[in-house]
Each structure stands twice: as C-alpha cells, then as structure tokens.
Structure 1
C-alpha cells in the first residue's frame, strides 16, 4: 500500500546537466564550430521527449564573455560574442519549454589559468562582472527561466577554485546576494553545491556534511535553494544505503522549508568485479578519460541510474539533474583533448567528428529510464512512499500525484524476482500507460524513445488487485500523466 502522506510536496522535477559545448561553440574553439544548428536541433528533439524539468548550466566566464582586464585591472566583457550566443541557444530552448535553469561558474577565471588576477570568488570584480552578465541574460535577453545561481562548483573540494576555503566562499555568497539585490535581479542563490560524501582535511569544515550543516546554520537567509552532489558506488546504491544516508541529510535542510535538490547525481563502478570491469573498459576506449561512466552503453546503468534517482525522491528530495547530457561537452580539465572525453552522456553529439564512430551519437540505454523519470514527474507533485518501506530489501516503489495525474515507479534492484500486489489511491484517468525496462529487452520507437508496452486499469491498483511480477534488475513505470 502506497501511503497518502507525502514524503515531499511541491516537487521541482528531475533533469540534466547541460553545458554550452565550450570546445565546439565557435570557429576559435579547440574543435572549431562543430555544434551547428543541425546538431542542436537533434539535441532539442531528444530533450523534447525527455522533458527535463530542471537544467544545470555551468560555465567559466573566460569561456564566454570575460576577455581579460584593462590597464586599471577592470574586466573587459563581451556579451555579443559567439560563445555567449551558444549559451543563449540553450537558454532559448529552456525558456520556450518552461524549464527551470540553475546557472553558475565552475570557478573564477584565474583558477582556469586566465590572466587578470581574478582568483577568488569574493573579488568585487568577479561579483560585478557576474551580475552584469546575468543582468544581460535575464533582463536584456528575457531569460526568465534562470532562477538560481551557483557561485562555484563543489566549493568544499580540494579540487575547487576555493580549495575548501569556507570564509572566502561565504563572503562571495554574501557579496553576490547583495549585488543581485542592488541590480534588482530575481535570481536566488543555490548552495552549497558541495559533494556531501567527500572530505577535505584542509577545510575549516572538513566534511561535505558539515558544509550542508553550516550553510543552514550560517547562511540560510542568503540561500534560496539547497543543492548538493553525489556520485555513489554501485554497491552503496543497490543495498539501499543511498536512501538511508540522504534521508539524514534531508533532515538537516527540511526545517528551512526550502527546496533541496541534487545539482549533480550519478553512479560509479569502482569496487569489486564491477570496478575491475570498469577499469578494463577505460583501457579499451581510446577516447575516454578515467572520469567516464562506460556502463552508459549497457542495460545495467539504466537500472542503477534510475535506482539512485528513485532513492533520492524516496528520501524526500525535490529533484536531481543527471551528470551529464552529452559527451560532446567536457574533457579532462576542459583542455579539449579528443582522447580525454568525459564519457557520461546519453549520447555524443559529435561522435563521428571526435571518435570516428557515428554510433556514438546514438541514444544509450539509460535514456529510457531517466527520461521517463523526468517526463512523468512534472513539477508540483506530492511524492509518496509505501507505508512499510524497506530500502535494504532491493524493491523500490515511489509514486507522484498532482492535478496532472499519478505516476508510480517500481524497481527491483536485486537479482531475485519479486511478486506482490500494488495498491495506491490513483488520481486522474483510469487508464495508465505501462513502460517496462527488462533484462530481456525494452520497447523503443525509430528514434529510440521509450514506447509503452501496455495499459493498466487504475481501478485495479486502487483496490489492490494489480499483481506485479518483477524480474531481478528490472524497472516499470505506470502513469496517466499527459506531459504535453
């Protein structure tokens, strides 16, 4: 029986990390102008099926509008360049589809080796030029889809531009918040954007958990949305530890009454036999960097990625964006090396150009499950768990309900088949579409978009007569939501 008492309300929605192709956005880019209108149209078509509800667009000012400093050390900015136009193409898409955008910086220009001495997030020049850029995008270009700003990526890490310097980061947030208010910008701060399960002994607050706690304790008045990152190992996902862990984190944030999301989320295969196979695959892919998820080509990641997202929803979080949309976006250290691609995407838009293999441009299996979890959980839903929820037993069940209808997801993370009767107070139309992602196969159309395998009467579910037989490592989604 699925409870009618929600674990969260006002669901924000699930989505993706979508960068503006920094190596392929102009003739001057490392790869030249490869992300043409034709390439973008295909990405747009695929996203039109997925219907991401949130998109995280991270950047570096010097990849776009920052052109160094003048003789007085003041930033030189150009908002009319090709690189900014590429960002605007992504924002035009998000604006036209009503997608909530989180925009931000991977780090200050100096951290990325650009001249000008802008090396800290609390540098007033960084604050001012960011405010001017966002004013251009939001006010002059009309991109109201930009709702939140992230001052820097993963600030608690020793790899970040802040190197875990809490006081620098805190001052930067306060200065940016004040600058937005002076400019009349309706953009909230999303924070801490920390990797919650990481440690940095050099930081004043060495654990990611402490960064969450201290953001709530010291900075809640400045923060409009809470956002963290997690890349969980496959074993941590499959035994239900992810849900239990992040239920604890949610309890820290929930008293603020603000939305909490995963700005980046994904799964790793680092341990055991899966880890050995992963390392073998990296060695066999000449274009893939070690920072890759080479199981995106396989059925298995469609289950594990869906599992981590479902557990996030079950733990009371309001949404998550997948790392990442497209292999054509990033390389190690973003130097543009073609043999150091970050292979994490649902496809590689430049597969032929970068790897010589057009098959890399095809949609990969995990698109099936992730797109359904974006498409059929629209914003505003109340998310509900079974009355007797046992994360450690491998069966994940979660439902979303709103005026749009009801969506129910069932995932068997274990190797053993499970049989049970499903009962839920379904709202909406009586006929529910059934999508199935099974070890023996799954249905897609000629574009590789998911196709329903059947229909189920909601009346069967309402009265508890619907018998479910779940093979090991399988996924089902039932919905009467019309996402159009």
Structure 2
C-alpha cells in the first residue's frame, strides 16, 4: 500500500519529503507508456566480406566470436556487381553460379568466387544469429577502376542505371541468395550508395529520374520472383542538403520505398549542441507527416573528427573519447524515433589496399592485420565497448521509451523495454565536468536487480577476451525513488535488468504528457503541422543547413505549430476518463485568439471548452508563454482536440507541452 501511495504521489510530482526532493539532482524520468519507436531494428553495423584478401579459419572464428558477443539485430552489407555478374548475353546477365567460367579471365572469376563464398558464410552467420540484412550494391556497373573485383588490366562492362537488364541482374542475385542458398536473413535491398551525391557528377550516369526508374524496375522484378517481402530502402543518400531526394522519395516513390535511409558523419561538436537530435527528430517528423508507416535509418553513421579525407581513415579511432561520442550520437538518434543507426564499420579488413597504412580505418579491429605485419591492429578498439553494450542490451524488437534530458548540460539518455520485458537505460555525459543524475521510473512497482556498466576514461572493465563486463550489481533498487549516477567529466553508463531480475511495470492511468517533440503520442492530427519553426523539411526551404534558433529561444522546448498561414490545424489525444488538462503555448504578442480546445467521449461528438490563460510571460523575439486550463470541471472525456487558428504567421502559434490528467 505504501508503494502504491508513493507511485500516485510521484506521478503527480508530489512524492517525498522536502529533504528527499532537495537531494534529487537532474532527475531523468522514464515514461514507460510513451513509446517513441515500436520497431527498433537492434544494434546495427556496416559489414561485408573483404574485397581481395582471404582470412584464415582462426581469423574467421575470432571475428564471429566478437560479432556474436554484440548480439546485433541488423547489418548493411554492400557488394559490387562485378563480384557476381560478368556481363550480358543479349538481355540475360552472365551470373557466377550459372556460367562457363572458362570464358572469363581466371583471376576475375577466382576472386569473385572467393568473395561470394565469404558472403555466403557471413550471411549464414547472420541467419544463425537472427541478424536481419540490408543487402545492397555500391553502385551500378560503370568505369571506375574496381581493381578490388576486376584485374586492373581488364575492361569493365557498363550499363545505364535505368536499363531493365540491371534490375533483372539484381533481382536474380536476391532470388539466388534467398531461395537457392536459403539466406532468409535478407530483408531489404538498396540500389546504390549515396546516390544523391554521385548524381552531382554527370559522368556517373546517375540522376533522380534514372534512379527512380531503376527502383520501379527492381520492385517489378522482385515481385515477379515472389520476393514481395523484400523491402526496398532508399535513397541511401549522403547528407541531405538541398537536393530534395528526401521529399521526392517520400512522394514519388511512396508505395515502393518504405524505409528512408541516409548517411551522416557527425562533427563532435554537433553532439554538444544536440544538433544530432534536432535534425533527426525533424527528419522523423516530416517522414511521419507524409506516411506514419515509414521508418528512418542511418545506413552509415560515425564521428567525423579525425577523418583523413584522402585515405578515408579515422586517425583517432583508437582513442577513448570516440566510444563516448558515438554512443551519444546513437542515443540522440534513438530519442528521435529512428529504427536503426548502422555504424561504419565493423572491420578495417572489409576494403582492400595493398598497404595497411593506406587502408580504410574506421572499424572495431582489422581482421587481417597479421597478414599486413601489424598484428596489434587486430585488437579490439575501445569504441566497441559502448556500441556492443547498446547492441546487447537494447536488442531487436525493443520499444524505445521517452525520457527527459538535460541537453544544455550535455546529458543525454535513452530508455528501452526489451521483447523479454527487461528495461535498459543508457546515458552519456559529454561535458568537461563531473555531473550527477537521478534516473527514476515511476511505473516500476517492484525492486529489481540491475546490472551497471561504465565507460570512463580510466574505468571500463573487460574480461580476458576484451569484452565489457558488469561494473556493479545493484540489488533491490527502488526505481520510483531513483538510481543516482555520478559521472566524471565525460563518460557513458548503462543500467539494465538483463541478467538481473525483471521489473514489474504498471500502466500510468493518472496522466499523460506530450513534450511536442514529434507526433508519436498523438491519436490524430491534421496534415498541415510544422515543427520548431519549420513548415516542411528544410530541403524545400531554400537553405543548405537548418537554423534551429526558433528551437533554442523557446527555452529549448520542442514546438508544434501549423505549416500554413491560412488553414486551421489540430492535434488530438485519447486518454480515457480525464477531467483536467494543461497546455503550454507560445505566441507572438498574443495568445488568447490563437487556440480552441474541444473534448469528446467518443471522437464523434465534440464540445468546446471554456478556457483560462495564465498571465503571459515575455520571452524573446516578442514571443509570450502561457498555460491553458479549463475554466470549469470536465466530465465524460476520453478525447482532447487542440485547434490552432490561422491568426498571423504560421509559426507564431505554438504548442510547447500537453498534459492530460485524471484528478
């Protein structure tokens, strides 16, 4: 009974005596009823076999042991068409598994056979370990000197992107892998890498229209072969800029491309300012406004600081800080409702160079370092620590939960409910000073056992294989009162009931809250909403980079507003039996003529509510803040609708937070 009373008080922010309240520093409260993402793909990586070098059995075993520890849910694996197709016999592709090998150069055939055998081995591992695969091609067959696949002194065949034979070639590859080889782990396909960037070079033969036609061709060819369940992912673009591939993919290929995929190599200071979260949230918002069934993923992601552009090497990948900042970027991405972020990359050995000093260096290790006479490069690098912990403890199928953050203090956290009913909470401190936070989960009514992992510069426990181990076992934890975490300057902490004991979670039927960071918590909404001052995704706003000054000045709160000046806009919530609400709003100079609120028992018959507005508080740029509440007691209410009226410029009418209560 005491625990139940405490729960009710805590849900209303009234728990504890004054002394207890004063001791709680930076409380982070997890809302187990507010699901940001229902379809998390799990830990994700870029991973394909080596272009040219063979691995020993011992190296394969070592690689698989390490990847198995990670418990990945998803990989992106790209290959080159020259590895499996040797040209065309009229309209028919000449395919590795169905050809006379004496008719092509023996060197080309031998390396292609080796690569494809390695690919089969990797895909079998993925199948055996329940890892879903996004298979793709780097780009179409064309003239670049692909000495990784074709001997340097041989000509390479070329084909236009929208040539129907190219779609046939790719579809036959997928059919062979899925049906003949049994690689049912292949769930998706992407046709070309960073196509929006190569389209800027007319020599490549890429353009939006050609790529669109190629995608339609591929969908048709997959369907002909009974591969309707293979999703096409796109546009697999580089940083989006102003090329409008995002909007064109959403609109012109709406029924064909269900997964929106981009790449982002992030400057470290963008994590400090939470630009990662700001941009990914906006990206997600405008995807959902077009089609709420679509998902967003990073097909490639990493931290750019230390990147050697000439050799495509990360010169600082061995350093401790990379593990904290790449985890922070992932946390910000998950807070925005994305389904996956595939880190580049698993292994330096994936892409061939004769000289190890010139090889790509982004991975957790280099599996063939012994052959290159630098065996130390085969050791596990430090960023494996945080990425593997996130992957193991927020597995495929987890629900990503909302929690507040302290973005101005460089504290970012994410919570997840796993398919087996465990809870995980991960948090980073990227500030240069020590901080304390208290993690509270009010709806957990038992006292579970929790495992705590830490990644600090001088403290990251590992076992003899170099894998992370538990720092501390926390017993009988009262999550309603909270767990205190003390950070040194910079670092990462992960708390999980996995390996401990299951939490007992009850539903919060006392109130619901929406912080206006997306549309996930809304029951319904009009199709003319904007976010944080943007009426539409900014690649159509004639600006090369987003300007989040509107977001920053309104006390770092997310805001929803209309996207047009002339139309009404609305948002609707469902919360059975509520009798009170508080709506935090902002407007330029005035507020009272900008909003109407309605309630309904059945989402059919609505009645307008007479409203009270708190005294406006001046903010910046002539914005004022106020809180809307009902003037009289409400009854028989299950639905709440907030209408934003077209009085003045669209972004001058904003909702900052909605709270609905049973009192």
**2:546 corresponding residue in structure 1:** none
1:416 aligns with 2:433: yes
2:47 corresponds to which of 9, 13, 18: 18
Tell me, yes or no, if the aligned pair for 2:394 and 2:418 is still in contact at 8 Å: no
**2:543 corresponding residue in structure 1:** none
1:177 aligns with 2:219: yes
Tell me, yes or no, if the aligned pair for 1:157 and 1:164 is still in contact at 8 Å: no
1:190 aligns with 2:230: no
Larger deviation, residues 4-13 vs 421-430 = 421-430
Unaligned segments of structure 1, at least 5 residues = 25-33, 200-205, 270-277, 283-287
Change (3 A) 1:251 1:51: same
Change (3 A) 1:429 1:145: farther
Larger deviation, residues 337-346 vs 149-158 = 337-346
**2:271 corresponding residue in structure 1:** 237
Tell me, yes or no, if the aligned pair for 2:450 and 2:477 is still in contact at 8 Å: no
Tell me, yes or no, if the aligned pair for 2:284 and 2:337 is still in contact at 8 Å: yes
1:264 aligns with 2:300: yes
1:391 aligns with 2:403: no
2-side partners of 1:428 and 1:167: how far apart? 57
**2:198 corresponding residue in structure 1:** 158
1-side partners of 2:343 and 2:444: how far apart? 28
**2:61 corresponding residue in structure 1:** 41
Task: With the length of structure 1 as denominator, give the TM-score of the two structures.
Answer: 0.86
**1:478 corresponding residue in structure 2:** 495
Task: Give the secondary structure class of the aligned counterpart of 1:250.
Answer: helix
2-side partners of 1:458 and 1:173: how far apart? 54
Task: Give the secondary structure class of the aligned counterpart of 1:220.
Answer: coil
**2:567 corresponding residue in structure 1:** none
**2:322 corresponding residue in structure 1:** 301
Task: Give the secondary structure class of the aligned counterpart of 2:247.
Answer: helix
Change (3 A) 1:338 1:411: closer
**1:82 corresponding residue in structure 2:** 114
Tell me, yes or no, if the aligned pair for 1:324 and 1:345 is still in contact at 8 Å: yes
Task: Give the secondary structure class of the aligned counterpart of 1:45.
Answer: helix
1:8-407, aligned counterparts within 5 Å?
Answer: 8-24=37-53, 34-62=54-82, 64-70=83-89, 72=90, 74-79=92-97, 81-113=113-145, 115=155, 117-158=157-198, 165-185=207-227, 186-197=229-240, 199=241, 206-207=242-243, 210-255=244-289, 256=291, 257-269=293-305, 278=306, 290-331=311-352, 338-354=356-372, 356-386=373-403, 388-404=404-420, 405-407=422-424
**CA shift for structure 1 position 429:** 8.2
Tell me, yes or no, if the aligned pair for 2:44 and 2:73 is still in contact at 8 Å: yes
Tell me, yes or no, if the aligned pair for 1:157 and 1:163 is still in contact at 8 Å: no
Kindly provide the CA deviation profile for residues 335-365 of structure 1, in whole angstroms up to 9, marking residues without a partner as x: 65544211000000111212x2211000000
Q: How many pairs are equivalent?
A: 442
**CA shift for structure 1 position 419:** 1.1
**2:474 corresponding residue in structure 1:** 456
**1:285 corresponding residue in structure 2:** none
Change (3 A) 1:112 1:90: farther
1-side partners of 2:143 and 2:475: how far apart? 57
**CA shift for structure 1 position 112:** 3.6
**CA shift for structure 1 position 407:** 0.5
Kindly provide the CA deviation profile for residues 61-114 of structure 1, in whole angstroms up to 9, marking residues without a partner as x: 10x2112334x4743211373321111011000000111100000011224457
Kindly provide the CA deviation profile for residues 179-208 of structure 1, in whole angstroms up to 9, marking residues without a partner as x: 1001111311011111134x4xxxxxx43x
Tell me, yes or no, if the aligned pair for 1:411 and 1:475 is still in contact at 8 Å: yes
Larger deviation, residues 47-56 vs 81-90 = 81-90
**CA shift for structure 1 position 428:** 9.2
Tell me, yes or no, if the aligned pair for 1:213 and 1:252 is still in contact at 8 Å: no
2-side partners of 1:163 and 1:14: how far apart? 34
* Structure with bigger RCO (C-alpha 8 Å, 6+ apart): 1
Change (3 A) 1:294 1:371: same
2-side partners of 1:427 and 1:218: how far apart? 49
Tell me, yes or no, if the aligned pair for 2:72 and 2:395 is still in contact at 8 Å: no
Tell me, yes or no, if the aligned pair for 1:61 and 1:109 is still in contact at 8 Å: yes
Tell me, yes or no, if the aligned pair for 1:8 and 1:317 is still in contact at 8 Å: yes
Larger deviation, residues 227-236 vs 425-434 = 425-434
Task: With the length of structure 2 as denominator, give the TM-score of the two structures.
Answer: 0.64
**1:202 corresponding residue in structure 2:** none
**CA shift for structure 1 position 290:** 3.1
Task: Give the secondary structure class of the aligned counterpart of 1:297.
Answer: coil
1:3 aligns with 2:31: yes
Change (3 A) 1:222 1:473: same
2-side partners of 1:458 and 1:121: how far apart? 60
Larger deviation, residues 344-353 vs 256-265 = 256-265
Change (3 A) 1:155 1:429: farther
Task: Give the secondary structure class of the aligned counterpart of 1:459.
Answer: coil
2-side partners of 1:128 and 1:427: how far apart? 57
Tell me, yes or no, if the aligned pair for 2:143 and 2:157 is still in contact at 8 Å: no
2-side partners of 1:232 and 1:344: how far apart? 14
2-side partners of 1:458 and 1:14: how far apart? 29
Kindly provide the CA deviation profile for residues 422-449 of structure 1, in whole angstroms up to 9, marking residues without a partner as x: 1024599811111000122210011100
**CA shift for structure 1 position 248:** 0.5
2-side partners of 1:475 and 1:391: how far apart? 15
Task: Give the secondary structure class of the aligned counterpart of 1:222.
Answer: coil
Larger deviation, residues 78-87 vs 129-138 = 78-87
**CA shift for structure 1 position 311:** 0.8
Larger deviation, residues 449-458 vs 157-166 = 157-166
